[in-house]
Homo-oligomer: A and B are copies of this chain.
Amino acid sequence: MKVEKISELTVNRLSVYLRCLNEMRARGDETVSSQALADRYNLNSAQIRKDLAYFGEFGVRGLGYNIDELRAHITKILGLDSPHRIGVVGAGNLGTALANYDGFSPQNFVVVGLFDSDPSKIGKRLPNGVAVSDIANFSLIAEQQKIDIAAIAVPARAAESVLDTILEAGVQAILNFAPLRLKGPPGVKIKHVDLLVSLEALSYFLAGPESAAPDAVLASEMDEAF
Contact = CB atoms under 8 A, between A and B. Distances in A.
Interface of A: 3-9, 11-12, 14-16, 18-19, 41-42, 77-80, 82, 84, 86, 92-94, 96-98, 100-104, 107-109, 148-149, 155-156, 172-175, 179-181, 183, 186-211, 214-221, 223-225
A104 B200 contact: no
A101 B154 CA distance: 11
B196 A175 contact: no
A5 B215 CA distance: 11
A83 B16 CA distance: 33
A152 to B, nearest CB: 12
Contacts of A193: 193, 195, 198
A149 B102 CA distance: 26
Contacts of A211: 172, 187, 189
A224 B8 contact: yes
B205 A189 contact: yes
Contacts of A78: 200, 203-204, 207
A96 to B, nearest CB: 5
A226 to B, nearest CB: 9
Contacts of A79: 203-208
Given A156-B103, A181-B41, A189 B220 contact: yes
Contacts of A187: 211, 214, 217
A206 B188 CA distance: 9
A204 to B, nearest CB: 5
Contacts of A214: 186-187
A103 B179 contact: yes
B97 A173 contact: no
Nearest to A182: B42
